[in-house]
Amino acid sequence: MTQQIPPAPPVRPQPEPELTGVRNFRDVGGLPTSDGRRVASGRLFRSGHLAHATETDAEFLGSLGLHTVFDFRNEADHALEGPDVTLPGVRNVNIPLSDPADGREFWKLVRDGDLDQLRSLLGDGKAAARMANSYRRIIRHRTAEHSRVVHALAEDSVPALLHCAAGKDRAGLSIAVTLLALGVPREAIVADYLESNAPHNRYRVRRTSQTAEARSPEVMELLAPLFDARAEYLTAAFDTIDEHWGGVETYLAEGLGLAPETLGRLRERLLD
């Protein structure tokens, strides 16, 4: 039996800054491709929203030479968090994607629901199943949005920052799709995705009440699947590609409409 060689770990260009008002920021550079190349540093970044960026955060982001910021948040996100800070000379493109935990009533219960309500809504594996199913739906039904992103990256939008609210789900899937197009192995994509679980990257759980009961261990355990990056979620997305399109090549060609020459330009722009 041929021994399976694990993908090379990412070679990060430098320690990521822990920005004060922006969660989950990182350069995707350093990730390996199946043909021995690596994602170039300083070309593709990911993060949570930029609405609460401090002046120092904005100065750092402005130093990256960004061409485009892709914001995958929807109107409800913007109403809750506010618009991104303005970065001089940077194009802002809003491409709303469905929040895996979408729904005003759902999020109201997340913020305000009591223990019995949360048990009914999220208990017995319901929260994790909701997340995995939403990843499947986004991959299956949001091909136009993902196509728009990868085509833009192939043409004129690099360096680019991709973000949603937490920088985990919608941005995570868009980054994953881009990395698949670049030929990054799935294991390396999952490893990058799981970095969203680092304490300084995690989205802060918001509960209206700050009482001990409102943030009890059981409440936080029930909420955890919504705020965790779990390999099973991204695996569900990959499985959808395999089940519906028969693999990545057909997904890229038919699902995203990526012509070979466009795919070549994308790789020229983003790979060393």
Q: What is the chain's mean pLDDT, rounded?
A: 90
In this prediction, residue 60 carries a pLDDT of 97
Structure tokens at 178: 């881009």
Contact 136, 153 (CB under 8 A): no
Q: What is the dihedral of CA 205, 54, 48, 120, to 10 degrees?
A: 20
Give per-residue pLDDT as tens, 133-148.
999 999 999 999 999 9
Rounded mean pLDDT of 20-40?
Answer: 96
Q: What is residue 99's predicted lDDT score, i.e. its pLDDT?
A: 65
Query: 47: which DSSP letter?
Result: E
Report whether pLDDT(169) > 50.
yes
What's the rounded Cα separation, in Å, for the pair 195 and 23?
12
pLDDT value of position 109: 76
Give dist(CA 114, CA 213) in Å, integer. 9
How many whole angstroms separate alpha carbon 84 and alpha carbon 65?
17
**Could you tell me if 143 and 255 are in contact, meaning their C-beta atoms sit under 8 angstroms apart?**
yes
Please tell me the predicted confidence (pLDDT) of residue 79.
86
List pLDDT tens digits, range 54-85.
Answer: 999 999 999 999 999 999 999 888 888 899 99
**Tell me, what's the pLDDT at 15?**
59
Nearest to 207 by CA among 196, 217, 220: 220
| Average pLDDT estimate for 185-213 | 83
The dihedral sign for the CA sequence 71, 109, 213, 197: negative
pLDDT at 183: 98
